């Protein structure tokens, strides 16, 4: 009886990285999320006004501005660290991952959040950068060691 031998060539097994998300898709998800965060900030402010007995909140108050940033970060941070997707990202079938392919950690998410605001400062140059980057990464992706990829549930298209 002939013996069958099987050989496994480990050098032939390569890890294929998911494709990076296209810039228009990222911007569409950002627009969705901006509407969601705006709604969250509205509800948060309404609750604050109610707690204060109907007294208005001065928009220049440091504690108020800081609390709005915390609410926005909570939305992004919880979404990114849980499954790598905000609701806008889920709608557009993209996700943010650390370079190892897992959802970002809290420190990485915090760095990404802060860096994303800095990327807006010079006329959005940090976002425009994705048009020229080989992996379509914005400045906040580069600084935080993350990338935005298409979700695996999406059929491959360009």
Does the residue 139 lie in any domain? yes
Cα separation, 112 vs 54, whole angstroms: 36
Q: What is the pTM of this model?
A: 0.81
Residue 94: predicted pLDDT? 97
Residue 146 lies in a domain: yes
Question: What's the gap between Cα 153 and its chain centre?
Answer: 18
Q: Which domain covers residue 74, as residue numbers?
A: 20-150
Q: Is residue 73 part of a domain?
A: yes
pLDDT of residue 59: 84
Is 113 contained in some domain?
yes
* Residue 68 Cα to chain centre, angstroms: 18
The total number of structural domains that make up the chain: 1
Residue 121 belongs to some domain of the structure: yes
Mean local confidence (pLDDT), 49-62: 92
pLDDT tens, position by position, 110-138 = 999 999 999 988 888 999 999 999 999 99
Q: Tell me if 5 is assigned to some domain.
A: no
| Residue 6 domain flag | no
């Amino acid at each position: 009886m002939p013996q069958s031998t099987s050989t496994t060539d480990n050098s032939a097994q390569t890890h294929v990285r998911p494709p990076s998300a296209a810039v228009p898709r990222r911007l569409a998800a950002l627009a969705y999320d901006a509407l969601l965060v705006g709604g969250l900030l509205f509800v948060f402010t309404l609750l604050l006004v109610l707690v204060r007995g109907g007294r208005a909140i001065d928009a220049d108050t440091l504690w108020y501005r800081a609390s709005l940033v915390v609410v926005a970060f909570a939305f992004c941070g919880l979404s990114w660290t849980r499954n790598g997707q905000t609701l806008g990202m889920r709608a557009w079938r993209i996700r943010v991952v650390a370079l190892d392919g897992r959802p970002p950690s809290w420190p990485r998410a915090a760095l990404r959040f802060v860096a994303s605001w800095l990327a807006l400062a010079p006329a959005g140059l940090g976002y425009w950068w994705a048009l020229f980057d080989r992996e379509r990464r914005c400045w906040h992706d580069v600084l935080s060691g993350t990338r935005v990829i298409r979700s695996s549930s999406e059929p491959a298209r360009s």
